[in-house]
Amino acid sequence: MASNFSTQFVDSALHGNTSFELSYTDPNQKWIIRNHILSLIQNYPSLSPSMDSFIHNNGSTVNLLKAEGKLSVSPPIPLTIWVHVSYPAMAPMVFVMGSFDSPIHRDHPFVDSSSGATFVPYLQTWQYPRSNLVELVKNLVNLFSIDHPLVYSPTNSTFSHPSMVSKREALDRLAGMVHYDLVFMEAKTEEEIEELSNLQGEMAKRVETTNSLIDQIETERSILKRRVEDLVMESDVVMNWLRVHDGITGDETEDAFEGVDEESKMKIDCLAASMAIDDLIYSLEKAIEGGVLSFEAYIKQVRVLAREQFFCTAMLVKLGASPVVH
């Protein structure tokens, strides 16, 4: 039986013989609470009764009985069990008391690491008269022996064979395993999402770079197309001029452009070189369209040819000739 001191304390508290008035009002309820508390203390002497004010999440305050002490597992677990104001219809409120040296496991499936509030399946399926304080603590001992809520090395399971495990204990154990699997999968999924997000950002940058290169190529293509059109027009003008002057056609075309002096010859050579460069750039454009030439090689060659054409144009300007307009 419970000690005389514990019995006297519980009786005095429930009958209002103390300065601290409890919030329980129903005599039948008080009798049930008395029997359950004393039975709990008798079966688990490491727990002792006391009373205090409990503040709910909504701010309301009630004066309740509680049993507190250390749960007999290895290593012991500081625990407080508050007897709800509507007990036994409502389940008690259980809190694991962590400390700086032994904090509550952050990913424990049944204990909140910040408040210590405990949500074991036994509490969530509480139903009087099947449920009581003694069976609750028995369930906590079995559950926490398998999965300790404080940051300690986990102890070995007390179950040597599946046939020795009760249905409830097996379900509790399974719930813990599922919880840890879900925590692992959630962490893995977040890691994969972060990797995919980084990859998406990199792909967006590559798409932007590719679009920029395509715009540059389209601009070059438009410029080269206009140059080809200009060359065709200039070629038609020259051919018409040759047909009009002295009937020069065919192989005689090249003889029609002979300089009368060195300066004229230089002008003709510069004009011919500039037009030849235009023809070569046009051929390079066809080569890149056909996939024969890479874009990098194309740009490199165009820069070299543009430099040579610039020198030819500068020479024509120096000689007083009109440069070819591209």
Each residue of 106-127: pLDDT tens digit?
888 889 989 999 999 999 999 9
Percent pLDDT > 70 in the chain is 83
pLDDT tens digits, residue range 158-178? 443 344 456 666 666 666 666
- Pair 131, 8 in one domain: yes
- Pair 74, 122 in one domain: yes
pLDDT recorded at residue 163: 41
| Average per-residue pLDDT for the chain | 82
- Pair 238, 301 in one domain: no
Is residue 120 in some structural domain?
yes
pLDDT recorded at residue 250: 52
pLDDT recorded at residue 251: 55
Give the whole-angstrom CA distance, residue 149 versus residue 147: 6
> Where is 103: in which H helix or E strand?
none
> Where is 250: in which H helix or E strand?
none
pLDDT recorded at residue 175: 65
Structure-token match 């400390």, residue found: 99
- Pair 268, 128 in one domain: no
pLDDT recorded at residue 171: 64
Is residue 166 in some structural domain?
no
- Pair 150, 14 in one domain: yes
pLDDT tens digits, residue range 48-74? 999 999 998 898 999 999 999 999 888
| Whole-prediction pTM | 0.51
Residue 42 pLDDT level (bands cut at 50, 70, 90): very high
Domain count of the chain? 3
pLDDT recorded at residue 164: 43
Is residue 201 in some structural domain?
yes
pLDDT tops 90 at residue 79 = yes
Is residue 324 in some structural domain?
no
Is residue 108 in some structural domain?
yes
Please, which residues bridge with residue 81 across strands?
A: 67, 94
Give whole-number Cα distances, 24 to 51, 56, 81, 86, in Å: 12, 16, 16, 8
pLDDT recorded at residue 81: 97
- Pair 194, 233 in one domain: yes
pLDDT tops 60 at residue 147 = yes
CATH number at residue 124: 3.10.110.10
Is residue 295 in some structural domain?
yes
Give 289 or 84, the one with higher predicted confidence: 84
Give 33 or 287, the one with higher predicted confidence: 33
Please say whether the dihedral angle defined by the alpha carbons of residues 200, 203, 209 and 214, taken in this order, is positive or negative.
negative
Is residue 325 in some structural domain?
no
Is residue 178 in some structural domain?
no
250-273 mean pLDDT: 69
Q: Angle CA(72)–CA(77)–CA(78) in degrees, nearest 5?
A: 115
pLDDT recorded at residue 156: 42
- Pair 216, 312 in one domain: no
Give 99 or 246, the one with higher predicted confidence: 99
pLDDT tens digits, residue range 186-199? 777 888 888 888 88
pLDDT recorded at residue 116: 93
- Pair 106, 232 in one domain: no
pLDDT recorded at residue 159: 41
**227 Cβ neighbours under 8 A, 6+ residues apart:** 278, 281, 282, 326
Q: Give the residue numbers spanning the domain of 187.
A: 183-243
Last-in-domain residue among 211, 243, 275: 243
- Pair 120, 39 in one domain: yes
CB 122 within 8 A of CB 116: no
CB 71 within 8 A of CB 140: yes
Percent pLDDT > 90 in the chain is 32
* Amino acid sitting at position 39: S
**49 Cβ neighbours under 8 A, 6+ residues apart:** 6, 9, 10, 13, 37, 41, 65, 66, 67
- Pair 132, 11 in one domain: yes
Token pair listed for 197: 């997000």
Give the whole-angstrom CA distance, residue 151 versus residue 108: 10
298-323 mean pLDDT: 80
Nearest to 43 by CA among 135, 143, 148, 130: 135
- Pair 24, 90 in one domain: yes
Give whole-number Cα distances, 211 to 94, 206, 222, 235, 288, in Å: 62, 9, 16, 36, 17
* Amino acid sitting at position 7: T
CB 69 within 8 A of CB 117: no
pLDDT tens digits, residue range 194-238? 888 888 888 888 888 888 888 888 888 888 888 888 888 888 888
Residue 249 pLDDT level (bands cut at 50, 70, 90): low
- Pair 239, 312 in one domain: no
